[in-house]
Amino acid sequence: MTNEELDDIRPYNDSEINDALKRLTAYKQFKSVLKFLFPESEHEKIINLLNNIHSAFDFQSKFMRELVFSVVKKSSTDFAVKGIENIDKNTPYLFISNHRDIVLDSAILQAVLNKNGFPTTEITFGSNLMSSEFLIDFGKTNRMFKVYRGGNPREILKNSQVLSEYIRHTITEKKASVWIAQRNGRTKNGDDKTEMALLKMLNMSGKGEFYKNINELNILPVTISYEIEPCCLEKVKETYISSHYKYVKSENEDLLSIIKGLTEQKGKIQLSFGKKIEITKSSNSVNLQIKELAEQIDRTIYWNYMFRKNNYISYDLLYNSDKYSDKYLESDKNNFINYMDSLASQLEGDKTEIRKIFLGVYAYPLINLQQRVK
Q: What is the pLDDT of residues 324-369, one digit of tens each?
A: 999 999 999 999 999 999 999 999 999 999 999 999 999 999 999 9
The pLDDT assigned to 32 comes to: 83
Same-domain pairing of 81 and 227: yes
Question: Considering 306, 328, 353, which residue would you say is the last residue of a domain?
Answer: 306
Assess whether 220 and 350 both reside in one domain.
no
Residues contacting residue 258 through CB under 8 Å, at least 6 positions apart:
102, 103, 129, 135
Dihedral-angle region of residue 150 (phi above 0 means left; psi in -120 to 50 means alpha; beta otherwise): left
Q: Check whether 374 has a pLDDT greater than 60.
A: no
CB-CB contact of 127 with 163 (8 Å): no
Answer yes or no: is pLDDT of 310 > 90: yes
Average pLDDT over residues 178-187: 95
CA-based nearest residue to 223, from 109, 118, 126? 109
**Which of 306, 329, 354 corresponds to the end of one domain?**
306
Same domain, 188 and 71: yes
Instruction: For 241-300, write each residue's pLDDT tens digit.
Output: 999 999 998 887 887 898 899 889 999 999 999 999 999 998 899 999 999 999 999 999
- Residue 138 pLDDT > 80, yes or no? yes
- Do both 362 and 236 map to the same domain? no
pLDDT of residue 268: 98
* Segments forming the whole domain that contains residue 90: 3-306
Say if residue 300 is in the same domain as residue 276.
Answer: yes
- Give the HSE-up count for residue 225: Cα atoms under 13 Å, Cβ half-sphere: 28
Q: Is 273 in a helix, a strand, or coil? A: strand
**What is the distance between the alpha carbons of residues 182 and 147, in angstroms, rounded to a whole number?**
14
Q: Quick one: 158 and 191 in the same domain?
A: yes
Q: What is the pLDDT of residue 132?
A: 83
For the cut 90, the answer to whether the pLDDT of residue 106 exceeds it is: yes
Same-domain check for residues 198 and 346? no
pLDDT score recorded for residue 128: 83
**What CATH code is carried by the domain that includes residue 91?**
3.40.1130
Same domain membership, residue 329 and residue 277? no
349 with 293, same domain: the answer is no
The residue type found at 20 is A
Mean pLDDT, the chain, whole residue set:
94
Of 272, 306, 340, the residue at which a domain comes to its end is 306
Please tell me whether residues 239 and 96 are part of one structural domain.
yes
Examine the pLDDT at 373 and tell me if it is beyond 70: no
pLDDT digits (tens, 9 = 90+) for 32-59: 878 877 889 999 999 999 999 999 999 9
Per-residue confidence (pLDDT) for residue 254, from 0 to 100: 84
What does the pLDDT read at residue 217? 98
Which amino acid type is present at position 289? Q
Domain count, the chain: 2
Distance CA 47, CA 44 (A): 5
Beta strands 144-147; 121-126: pairing state: parallel
User: Which amino acid is present at 367?
Assistant: I
Q: Are residues 126 and 181 in the same domain?
A: yes
Beta bridge partners of 269: 79, 226
- For residue 119, the one-letter residue type is P
Q: Name residues whose C-beta falls within 8 Å of residue 224's C-beta, 6 or more positions apart in sequence.
A: 97, 98, 99, 100, 101, 105, 108, 109, 269, 270, 271, 272
Identify whether residues 234 and 361 lie together within a single domain: no
Strands 268-273 and 219-226: antiparallel
Whether the pLDDT of residue 220 is over 70: the answer is: yes
First-to-last CA distance in the chain?
41
